[in-house]
Amino acid sequence: MPDETPDSSPGGPGFLDSVKGFGVTFRTMFQKVDTVEYPEQKKPTAPRFHGRHQLNRWPDGLEKCIGCELCAWACPADAIYVEGADNTPDERYSPGERYGRTYQINYLRCILCGLCVEACPTRALTMTNEYELADDSREALIWTKEQLVVPLQPDMEAPPHPMRLGETEEDYYRLGAMLAEANESDATKAGAEPDPEPGASQ
């Protein structure tokens, strides 16, 4: 069987292929290096940058997370742990039947792909532009629900409390659709991209 290895000796047909492989190296070798004095100077991220996660609330303060665990199932790195619990008439944390009692994201595993955000049926989980997550403690990189949930705004009420924006969870979902549509319309008029989550802090 004939030898199909290309001749890489000087002057051979494979020699030019080796030189082409260093084309990018040669082109950038003498260019000025763009050095950013981080952390004194921080380069702004893209508007849709995938950074730290956040758990959002409804305008009345109830949590959007319903403890369905779809985000955990969608995570390719197995970085999310969710433990759901039932809402009761006396203790209601979300408009649905259940809420996320325990929520953890292990940033030692997370690859910030955003598949968990795509899987969330209530837009409870979104991603911010915050990227400074480094730490010298492994335990500190396992973020809990208390760290991920959006802080209460002045017009919000801390759960548990009854539903204030409707009588059923469908009323909340309709409200969410209306808010998203209004946000998209306002962003289109202003010539900007819609906010990832109306009313949520970034």
The pLDDT value given to residue 192: 55
Show the domains of the chain with their CATH numbers.
53-190 (3.30.70.3270)
Contact between residue 100 and residue 89 where contact means Cβ atoms under 8 Å apart? no
Which whole number is the average pLDDT over 30-53?
A: 87
H/E element, 98: strand 98-106
Q: What percent of the chain has pLDDT over 70?
A: 84
Tell me how far apart the alpha carbons of residues 149 and 128 are, in angstroms, rounded to a whole number: 12
**Confidence at 199, pLDDT banded by 50, 70, 90:** very low
Instruction: Give per-residue pLDDT as tens, 112-143.
Output: 999 999 999 999 999 999 999 999 999 999 99
DSSP-assigned states of every residue in 99-162: EEEEEEEETTT-----HHHHH-TTS-EEE-S------S-TGGGEEEHHHHBPPPPTT--PSS--
